[in-house]
Structure 1
Amino acid sequence: MEPEANEYATEPVPDSSTVGWLRVAMISAMVAFSLPTFLTGLEVAAVYSAADTAIILLTGTAILTLLGCITGGIGAATRLSSYMLNRIAFGEYGAALVNIAFAISLLGWFGVNIDLFSDAVLRLSREMFSAEIPAWVVELFAGALMTVTTFFGFRAINLLSTLLVPVLMVVTVQLIAGSLDALPFTELMQRAAAGNGSFGNGVSAVVGGIIVGTVILPDITRFLRHWRHAAYGVILSYFLVSTIVMAAGAIASTALADHDLLNILLTLGIGWAAFAVVIFGSWVLNSLNLYSTMLSVESTLPRLNNRALILVCGALGTVAAFFNILDYFLEFLFYLSIAFVPVSGVIAVDYCLCRRNAFHGARIGQLQQARWSAIVAWLAGATVALMGSWGWFALSSIAALDAVLVASALYYLLQRGKTA
């Protein structure tokens, strides 16, 4: 497979480069099979009763599906990356700020995931094979593997996802079956809550863990032929696969009274599955993180070579993981992530209700320097997100959703005020 010469970072994807919806859905599904999604189910089950956990997971994935259908549909309809959509909605200067924040966050999560990958591989190698591997070897190998995959572009990530999704489907089925052998379903559903978490906090945990993926969803749905195809993929990957994966983690945690996924898989005698989840899930998730980072930087600085960008960004993320500086960077990354969630609300309102023509045709080349109504709405939504995460403000009790709603409503009002 030859490296992609053009990933269309600053222009619409042409008809000749579009693919079937199932191929794009496989990428989203592969991300859903990653370690963080399983862990979300475990964390929710550790606090709530089995019945409440089921309702929380369904509610959270329903919200994500709705948001994903909107953002993914816009990506498919315009054939533009999330970063080009930012440039149209926020103007050149506003988008530069948003895109650089995206790039820092995604590159940071690239390093965090390499750390998670390394810790899991080292532990599994000790417990399954009594082998000691230097951490730097694992981190260097992981960074190189994920960077090389990204170097070959969207189609390589797509092919990898298509091949690996069936493997992780088998892992998930085995995890559920083994857990229900340990504790029958009727008894499992009778388990009481172990904590005092509110319903809103539970849904926030589900939504907050995945919502950043909905913001950058146009990066892959732009390769689709029609917005309906994006909806099909989002329903399959977010509502079905993500719910099943989180439910698998929750069932295993409840049945075995253990909140450590690696322990659970080893206890069930399917240690190979632990390697599959850690290696395959992290591989695709981080390749997609790096791919989106490249699109973000290239759309802001279009004269840079995308292959060089991938190599440089991959090296930076790997070096950061190697020196463990991300232990101190994690809290900053968390706040940065929730701060740019409202971006999707602004773009959705701008496209669906205010200025659809601005996202199509020749208007793409007529970008404004700054669109203050969009910037102000985004900052207001980001403030709401941060206040919600600190427990200072709540509309729906779901901080990320509140941020999207506030940004959307304020932007619409500001736009209406301009035309009144």
Structure 2
Amino acid sequence: MIWLAANLVVTTLLTGTLFVPEVQYGLVLVLIVGATVLGGAVLVLIGAIGTRTGLPTMALARGPFGTRGSLLTVAVNIMILMGWSWVQAMLAGISLDYIVSSFTGVSNPVVFAVVCQTIVVILAIFGHSNVARVEPWFAAVILGIAAYIFVVAFTTFTPAEFAAIPTPAEPYYSPSLVFDVVLATAISWTVLSADFNRFAKTTRAGVIGSGIGYTLSTIIAMTLGATAIGYVVLRGGEAVAFDPVTIIEPFGPLFAVAIFLSVMATNTMVVYGMVTTVVNSLPGRRIRFLPTAIILGVISIIGATFFGLLDQFTVFLVTIGALFAPVFAIMIVDYYLIRRGSYDRDILSSKPGRYWYTGGVNLIAVGSWAVGATVAYLYTYVWPLPFSATLLAFVVTAVLYFVLSLSRRSKDGFAPAINLADASDAR
């Protein structure tokens, strides 16, 4: 239910509005399902490491990247989560602005975004555990609204009419870019997968719960967005992508209220995730929660005023895929293939040990990451491919890291790691 609730949020829904009428409706649905299942597999594999070791995602990065090298992934993770918090605060502000202006005529989306993010920061500091409890109820509400929108859309227009929506002569989105954006959504959630799944009772339960929850919520939310914008087009309206008002107006203010509440709940967990990442970034050193939360919270509130980020949302998502798909390729290969499903207690230590490598940095991992990110960038923007550049970067990084790591192991006599006997020690 936590994973089902996490992605039943307006950002995922509005991501679906980017794809129609740029790409044919039927093909969009196929791409959403395929990329979600593939991205969900990455999320589940990282989450399972969290369950087996008791460690959050960025702490696990110490295994392949080194005690100090993992700080590089921590920095990128904080930037990505900060970007998500800004985007979601803006969308909550736009939804709240729509509600208030409908009754009072007062309109100022920037002010309302600041108000929303301030509430989020307060909840992240004092009420994050309660939000985790009520978020599944928000999921139930969103599912009810989704059912209502699907009924309205498909009783007004037939599936054949949706499939026949004409595409523009020079679309911005290609099928490969749609696939990459959907895949990047899964990658962006994977940064928190072990954070949540480390508390699963068993690995099997975590795999089933996160796998079903994530794939269902993403497919439903993105399909809902694509259907809602298709409904707007078929009614003769203008397809303004990634604008909550465009899909709120045909379905009423209740939809705006649901969007506002879902964003507030999910964004609270995003801000809490940022703070958790920083607090757990340095083994053996205590970083206090409250000062960290206040500093990051203030930055997130200020950033919520930069509404120009909404126009760059596609670039933001593709950048996430380019930066973090190689990271997770390395983490998966390192744990499941190189280490054969084990990390020892050195991963909890700040002192030189098994995961110290060269000055605390595994140069093979950092180099493989750099190659993967470069591949993703080049084949997205310089030489666009007819298939997923993010997937190509993932595969190239995984193969490169595996081959180089095996070469080093045969040269240096790499010993197998010892299981963390008790996950509670790592927690």
TM-score by length of 1: 0.85
| Alignment partner of 1:292 is 2:269 | no
In structure 1, what is the equivalent of residue 123 of structure 2? Answer: 149
Distance 2:196 2:324 in 1: 19
| Matched residue type, 1:185 | P
**Aligned residue pairs, count:** 391
Distance 1:211 1:221 in 2: 15
What are the within-5 Å matches in structure 2 for residues 207-218 of structure 1? 207-218=183-194
3-state SS of the aligned residue for 1:310? helix
| Alignment partner of 1:415 is 2:405 | yes
- Deviation, 1:351, is 0.5
In structure 2, what is the equivalent of residue 12 of structure 1? Answer: none
In structure 2, what is the equivalent of residue 160 of structure 1? Answer: 134
CA contact 1:54–1:247 (8 Å) conserved in 2:
yes
What are the within-5 Å matches in structure 2 for residues 223-372 of structure 1? 223-257=199-233, 258=237, 259-260=239-240, 261-268=244-251, 270-277=252-259, 279-301=260-282, 302-322=285-305, 337=320, 338-356=322-340, 359-361=343-345, 364-365=348-349, 366=353, 367-368=355-356, 369-372=360-363
Distance 1:36 1:27 in 2: 17
Query: Which of 127, 152, 157 matches 1:183?
Result: 157
Query: Which of 137, 144, 148 matches 1:174?
Result: 148
- Deviation, 1:168, is 0.9
| Alignment partner of 1:116 is 2:97 | no
Q: Tell me: CA distance 1:175–1:262, structure 2 relative to 1, closer, same or farther (3 Å).
A: farther
| Matched residue type, 1:141 | V
Q: Tell me: CA distance 1:243–1:332, structure 2 relative to 1, closer, same or farther (3 Å).
A: closer
- Deviation, 1:31, is 2.6
| Alignment partner of 1:400 is 2:390 | yes
Q: Tell me: CA distance 1:344–1:154, structure 2 relative to 1, closer, same or farther (3 Å).
A: farther
Q: Deviations over 1:252-307 (max 9, x none)?
A: 22233153443333223x32112211x12221332222122112212224422112
Distance 2:310 2:221 in 1: 27
Mark the runs of 5 or more structure 1 residues left unpaired by the alignment.
1-25
Q: Tell me: CA distance 1:81–1:149, structure 2 relative to 1, closer, same or farther (3 Å).
A: same
Q: What's the RMSD between the two structures over aligned residues?
A: 2.6
| Matched residue type, 2:288 | N
Query: Which of 175, 180, 197 matches 1:204?
Result: 180
Q: Tell me: CA distance 1:299–1:28, structure 2 relative to 1, closer, same or farther (3 Å).
A: same
CA contact 1:85–1:359 (8 Å) conserved in 2:
no
CA contact 1:88–1:364 (8 Å) conserved in 2:
no
Distance 2:208 2:192 in 1: 17
TM-score by length of 2: 0.83
CA contact 2:180–2:318 (8 Å) conserved in 1:
no
Mark the runs of 5 or more structure 2 residues left unpaired by the alignment.
411-427
| Matched residue type, 1:376 | G
- Deviation, 1:120, is 3.1
- Deviation, 1:141, is 2.4
Distance 2:312 2:33 in 1: 31
- Deviation, 1:361, is 4.1
Distance 1:109 1:363 in 2: 29
- Deviation, 1:357, is 6.2
Q: Tell me: CA distance 1:139–1:36, structure 2 relative to 1, closer, same or farther (3 Å).
A: closer
Identity among equivalent pairs (%): 21
- Deviation, 1:409, is 0.9
In structure 2, what is the equivalent of residue 16 of structure 1? Answer: none
Q: Tell me: CA distance 1:106–1:408, structure 2 relative to 1, closer, same or farther (3 Å).
A: same
Q: Tell me: CA distance 1:177–1:328, structure 2 relative to 1, closer, same or farther (3 Å).
A: closer
CA contact 1:358–1:364 (8 Å) conserved in 2:
no
CA contact 1:81–1:218 (8 Å) conserved in 2:
yes
| Matched residue type, 1:180 | F
| Matched residue type, 2:142 | L
Q: Tell me: CA distance 1:178–1:280, structure 2 relative to 1, closer, same or farther (3 Å).
A: same
CA contact 1:175–1:265 (8 Å) conserved in 2:
no
Distance 1:108 1:240 in 2: 24
Q: Tell me: CA distance 1:132–1:210, structure 2 relative to 1, closer, same or farther (3 Å).
A: farther
Bigger drift between 86-95 and 143-152 goes to 143-152
Distance 1:326 1:190 in 2: 32
Distance 1:384 1:157 in 2: 39
- Deviation, 1:186, is 4.0
Distance 1:357 1:207 in 2: 25
Distance 1:250 1:173 in 2: 14
- Deviation, 1:183, is 0.8
3-state SS of the aligned residue for 1:72? helix
- Deviation, 1:416, is 1.0
| Matched residue type, 2:262 | G
- Deviation, 1:159, is 0.8
CA contact 2:51–2:206 (8 Å) conserved in 1:
yes
Q: Tell me: CA distance 1:393–1:358, structure 2 relative to 1, closer, same or farther (3 Å).
A: farther
| Alignment partner of 1:105 is 2:88 | no
Distance 1:205 1:135 in 2: 26
Distance 1:140 1:191 in 2: 38
Distance 1:108 1:201 in 2: 20
In structure 1, what is the equivalent of residue 416 of structure 2? Answer: none
Query: Which of 23, 32, 37 matches 2:12?
Result: 37
Distance 2:190 2:383 in 1: 25
| Matched residue type, 2:177 | N
Bigger drift between 92-101 and 345-354 goes to 92-101
Q: Tell me: CA distance 1:328–1:239, structure 2 relative to 1, closer, same or farther (3 Å).
A: closer
CA contact 1:298–1:304 (8 Å) conserved in 2:
yes
